[in-house]
């Protein structure tokens, strides 16, 4: 039996529970339908076949979940860190035990290829282990002395928090946002993306089987403008961790203004990969190709603008085009597939519209540019490379969020930096050069929250993650996550019987 056929059979077994029971909300330790009983259909971008009826939560469901999180907060915030650590490790164990089920479900729900999703499931477990081990230090602070006074800081969990996640790699991103919140002692209301809601229901189920008390983690499915909006407006929710589009971030900021919430925003990107002629060009081409065509290009840190020194532009873009043409597009459960179908027909149309934009703007389509031959159904797009582009074109400025790369030549370092920074976004930057001094100089001037030098995006979990400009506000990763989910309190002790001002005495 072929691997694909075998995988499809397994996937059908894993998906049967969703066909039978749909995707429910999860409140106070129990699965439940939306309060008004309504549902929406989730379908697979592979063939648009329905996967599940999903609870269509609204403001009333969010209110129920937020009240549940508020009640659970009193106890959970006081649970000893060693106990929180144990529970978080058990959640990680549960993820590892069900890694295949999670990966297969994610592939069919999102269209992402199995070769990446099996790693994403395990990375989800790693996120829980990492923050489990940090739970004990979440409350730590500093002592600051001055004459007559000792200041001691401590951190306390901020309260119930709302987590709103996107559809591109929903399982991994949910673990990345929720694990530190729980480790800090916060309770959570999670609103997963409506395009890919399946694995969020597996995740909250695993957490409760691992012994997480009822109400500590509630999940409400629904639409952004409805359930998502209600979450951002709810007075019991003290902070919003949001991953999604920049314009949704702006909306959330407005919606949450009346309740004065704290935000962490991880938004869109149009990230430059800058290749100088002195770089190891083979490795640079591999990394550029990996960062734009892995995860279907539906990746916030994708290297979607390729800036190449003019002297090697033709040679380098030809090497990238050759690789792009060899990439296998196909069913996400085929182990050989690199690029699967994009998440949804609406997104497919958006990505395909940029093929026309590129032609109208006068760029050359050096690879791809359409639907792959033979894949007539599903949201499949060829790995695409636009060359002869300039930085002011829409294909160079707008986040396409698909397997589509725009290559622009530059004359020298000054121009390279200008082009790299001449964009609204500022999430990630990639730099390829053998000149150490230039690498230090250039990387410090790139307007990006994260810069990788002579590397693709590889994550070190204690390092900060986040963007500047339209790519986000705030950082998470390591201790930065605790800073977001916790309030810092300063307690000042008098160390002498100093003179207290006497008024009216």
- Which residues contact ligand NAD by CB under 6 A? 164-168, 173, 191, 193-194, 224-225, 228-229, 232, 243-245, 248, 251-252, 255, 266-269, 300, 399, 401, 427, 467, 472
Which of 101, 126, 298, 300 is catalytic? The answer is 300
Q: How far is the CB of 461 from ligand NAD (least distance, A)?
A: 14
Which of 106, 266, 298, 382 is catalytic? The answer is 266
Helix (H) or strand (E) holding 153: strand 149-157
Q: How far is the CB of 75 from ligand NAD (least distance, A)?
A: 28
Closer by beta carbon to ligand NAD, 30 or else 225: 225
**Helices then strands (H, E): number in the chain?**
16, 22
Going by DSSP bridges, is the β-strand pair 143-146/149-157 parallel, antiparallel, or unpaired? antiparallel
Closer by beta carbon to ligand NAD, 76 or else 401: 401
Q: How far is the CB of 190 from ligand NAD (least distance, A)?
A: 9
Question: Are 377 and 48 in contact, with CB atoms under 8 Å apart?
Answer: yes
Question: Are 448 and 432 in contact, with CB atoms under 8 Å apart?
Answer: no
Closer by beta carbon to ligand NAD, 291 or else 427: 427
Closer by beta carbon to ligand NAD, 269 or else 369: 269
Question: Are 425 and 399 in contact, with CB atoms under 8 Å apart?
Answer: yes
Q: How far apart are CA 135 and CA 204, in angstroms?
A: 19
Q: How far is the CB of 500 from ligand NAD (least distance, A)?
A: 49
- The phi, psi pair for 221, rounded to 5°, reads -85, 155
Q: How far is the CB of 169 from ligand NAD (least distance, A)?
A: 7
Closer by beta carbon to ligand NAD, 288 or else 400: 400
Helix, strand, coil % (nearest 5) of the chain? 45, 20, 35
Q: How far apart are CA 128 and CA 463, in angstroms?
A: 16
Q: What does the H/E/C string look like for 79-117? A: CCHHHHHHHHHHHHHHHHHCHHHHHHHHHHHHCCCHHHH
> At 243, is the secondary structure helix, strand, or coil?
strand
Report which residue's Cβ sits closest to ligand NAD.
224
Per the annotation, the verdict on 266 as an active-site residue is yes
Strands annotated E in 348-403 = 364-367, 384-387
Q: How far is the CB of 358 from ligand NAD (least distance, A)?
A: 20
Per the annotation, the verdict on 100 as an active-site residue is no
Closer by beta carbon to ligand NAD, 378 or else 466: 466
Catalytic site positions: 266, 300
């Amino acid at each position: 039996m072929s691997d694909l056929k075998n995988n499809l059979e397994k996937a059908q077994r894993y998906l049967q529970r969703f066909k039978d029971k749909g995707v429910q909300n999860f409140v106070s330790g129990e699965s439940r339908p939306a309060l008004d009983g309504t549902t929406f259909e989730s379908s697979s971008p592979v063939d648009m076949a329905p996967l599940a009826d999903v609870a269509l939560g609204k403001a009333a469901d969010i209110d129920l979940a937020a009240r549940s999180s508020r009640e659970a907060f009193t106890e959970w915030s006081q649970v000893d860190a060693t106990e929180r650590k144990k529970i978080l490790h058990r959640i990680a164990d549960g993820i590892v035990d069900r890694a295949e089920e999670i990966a297969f479900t994610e592939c069919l729900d999102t269209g992402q290829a199995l070769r990446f999703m099996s790693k994403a499931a395990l990375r989800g477990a790693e996120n829980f282990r990492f923050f489990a081990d940090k739970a004990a230090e979440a409350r730590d602070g500093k002592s600051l002395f001055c004459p007559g006074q000792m200041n001691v800081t401590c951190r306390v969990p901020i309260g119930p928090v709302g987590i709103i996640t996107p559809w591109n790699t929903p399982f991994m991103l949910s673990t990345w946002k929720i694990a530190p919140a729980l480790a800090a002692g916060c309770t959570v209301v999670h609103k997963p993306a409506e395009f890919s809601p399946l694995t969020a229901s597996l995740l909250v189920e695993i957490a409760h089987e691992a012994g997480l008390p009822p109400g500590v983690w509630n999940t409400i499915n629904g639409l952004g403008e409805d359930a998502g909006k209600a979450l951002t407006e709810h007075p019991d929710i003290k902070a919003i961790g949001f991953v999604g589009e920049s314009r949704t971030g702006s909306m959330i900021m407005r919606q949450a203004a009346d309740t004065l919430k704290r935000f962490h925003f991880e938004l869109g990107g149009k990230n430059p990969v800058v290749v100088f002629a002195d770089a190891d060009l083979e490795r640079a081409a591999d990394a550029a190709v990996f960062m734009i065509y892995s995860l279907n290009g539906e990746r916030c840190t994708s290297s979607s603008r390729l800036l190449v020194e003019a002297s090697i532009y033709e040679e380098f873009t030809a090497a990238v085009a050759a690789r792009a043409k060899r990439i296998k597009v196909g069913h996400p459960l085929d182990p050989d597939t690199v690029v699967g179908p994009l998440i949804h027909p609406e997104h497919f149309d958006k990505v395909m519209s940029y093929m026309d934009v590129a032609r109208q703007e006068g760029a050359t389509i050096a690879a791809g540019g359409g639907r792959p031959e033979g894949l007539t159904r599903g949201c499949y797009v060829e790995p695409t490379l636009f060359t002869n582009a300039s930085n002011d074109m829409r294909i160079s400025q707008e986040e396409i969020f698909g397997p589509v790369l725009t290559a622009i030549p530059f004359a020298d370092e000054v121009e390279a930096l200008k082009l790299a920074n001449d964009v609204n976004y500022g999430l990630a930057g990639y730099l390829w050069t053998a000149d150490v001094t230039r690498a230090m100089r250039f990387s410090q001037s790139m307007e990006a929250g994260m810069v990788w030098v002579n590397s693709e995006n590889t994550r070190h979990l204690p390092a900060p993650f986040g963007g500047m400009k339209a790519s986000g506000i705030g950082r998470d990763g390591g201790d930065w996550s605790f800073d977001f989910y916790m309030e810092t309190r300063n307690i000042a002790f008098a160390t002498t019987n100093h003179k207290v001002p006497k008024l009216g005495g």
